[in-house]
């Protein structure tokens, strides 16, 4: 009785294995890249070169803000409005902020604040729940204090 021929491993088999392996790797990479690009707006600054030229100025502004000695605490109320409590600052300051969604999914929101009492300010608008980057600016007319907070 003749024996059954043994299937030999040929170059076509190796080619199929290599194509399947690298095809799988490429498919996973393209899938992950599409997920990544769909969840991030991609814009941190509009022009990175211009931002790099302004960076030292921003550091100096941050040092000047710290030198003012103003202690600021931002809290989020259950109704979505923000409370800013300021210590060691002049009585009548103007508070405003820009809330940015960190992934660029929601439009920026400009927030204005009303003075409740000594050193306490309440946002006029509510901020929807979620993650936000808050760029807070306080000014007494002669000095300006700035900070960026991450709210969630």
Same domain, residue pair 110 and 133: yes
Reported confidence tier of residue 16, pLDDT bands at 50, 70, 90:
very high
pLDDT average, residue stretch 39-53: 77
List, in sequence order, every beta strand (DSSP E) within the chain: 71-76, 82-87, 94-100, 109-117, 120-123, 132-139, 144-151
Environment class of 136 (CB within 10 Å of its CB; exposed 0-12, middle 13-18, buried 19+): buried
**18 against 108, higher pLDDT:** 18
Is residue 122 domain-resident?
yes
Give yes or no: residues 88 and 147 share one domain: yes
Q: The tokens 């550091």 sit on which residue?
A: 59
Q: What is the pLDDT of residues 89-137, one digit of tens each?
A: 777 788 899 998 877 678 888 999 988 888 889 999 988 888 888 999 9
Residue 25: inside a domain, yes or no?
yes
**Position 26 confidence tier, pLDDT thresholds 50, 70, 90:** very high
User: What H or E segment, with its residue span, contains residue 51?
Assistant: helix 48-68
Range of the domain at 29: 11-39
Domain co-membership, 92 together with 141? yes
pLDDT value of position 43: 63
Specify whether the CB–CB gap between 149 and 74 falls below 8 A: yes
Report the distance separating Cα 80 and Cα 109, nearest Å.
13
Query: What domain count does the chain have?
Result: 2
Averaged pLDDT of the chain: 86
> Can you tell me the distance from the alpha carbon of 28 to that of 41, in angstroms, rounded to the nearest whole number?
22
* CATH code of the domain covering residue 109: 2.60.40
């Amino acid at each position: 009785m003749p024996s059954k021929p043994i299937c030999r491993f040929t170059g076509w088999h190796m080619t199929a294995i290599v194509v399947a392996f690298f095809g799988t790797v490429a498919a996973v990479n393209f899938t992950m890249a599409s997920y990544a690009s769909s969840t991030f707006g991609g814009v941190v600054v509009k022009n990175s070169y211009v931002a790099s030229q302004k960076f030292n100025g921003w550091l100096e502004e941050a040092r000047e803000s710290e030198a003012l000695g103003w202690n600021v605490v931002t809290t989020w109320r259950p109704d979505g409005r923000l409370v800013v409590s300021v210590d060691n600052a002049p009585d009548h300051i103007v508070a405003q902020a820009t809330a940015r969604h960190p992934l660029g999914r929601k439009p920026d929101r400009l927030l204005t604040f009303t003075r409740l009492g000594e050193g306490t300010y309440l946002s006029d608008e509510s901020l929807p729940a979620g993650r936000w980057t808050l760029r807070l600016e306080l000014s007494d007319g002669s000095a300006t204090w700035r900070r960026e907070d991450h709210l969630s």
